Amino acid sequence: MTVGEDCRLIDVSFSTEPYLVHLGNHVSATKTHFETHDGGVWVIRHKHPEIDVVRPIHVGDNVYFGYGCLVMPGATIGNNVVVGAGSVVAGTIPDNSVVGGVPARVIKSVAEYETAALAKSSPTKGWTLDEKQVYYTRIFGRR
């Protein structure tokens, strides 16, 4: 596989053709699986023992995969994309989009996501766990 610079891959897995997966720069994925072949040919293999259906996967720059995504054979994901947790990605995902679902569909643009995220954000990145606990307990209370 090809992995660009500044990538964060946590418990990521690849099927039997990892050399067909290209990840751009600044890609983050947790518990994501990249599947480059269609195992469904199993049910017709007795009639066609020689066939495989294999396709490359291309992921652009600055892409975030939420927890537990599945990327299917032939998927092409553009630049500046957020993929929601648990999504199944097939086909082509355009640049600057937020997608989610099974199959993943465009939900909004990254610009719309940015506006919403800024409206509900807190300035706690880089704080210690204890500092965050005090801050968030004060805001949300204890449950």
pLDDT tens-digit map of 115-137: 999 999 999 999 999 999 999 99
Residue 57 pLDDT exceeds 80? yes
Which residue in 14, 5, 28 sits closest to 71, CA to CA? 14
Q: What φ, ψ does residue 132 adopt, rounded to 5°?
A: -65, -40
What is the number of structural domains in the chain?
1
pTM, 2 dp: 0.90
* CATH number (domain holding residue 19): 2.160.10.10
pLDDT in tens, 77-104: 999 999 999 999 999 999 999 999 999 9
Domain that holds residue 128: 2-140
Q: Which two tokens stand for residue 64?
A: 């975030």
pLDDT at 24: 98
Active site positions, annotated: 48
23 burial type by CB count under 10 A (0-12 exposed, 13-18 middle, 19+ buried): buried
| 142 has a pLDDT exceeding 80 | no
Residue type, 8: R
Q: Which residues pair with 27 in a beta bridge?
A: 63
β-bridge pairing 8-10 and 92-93: unpaired
Per the listing, tokens 């396709």 go with: 55
Residue 82, pLDDT score: 98
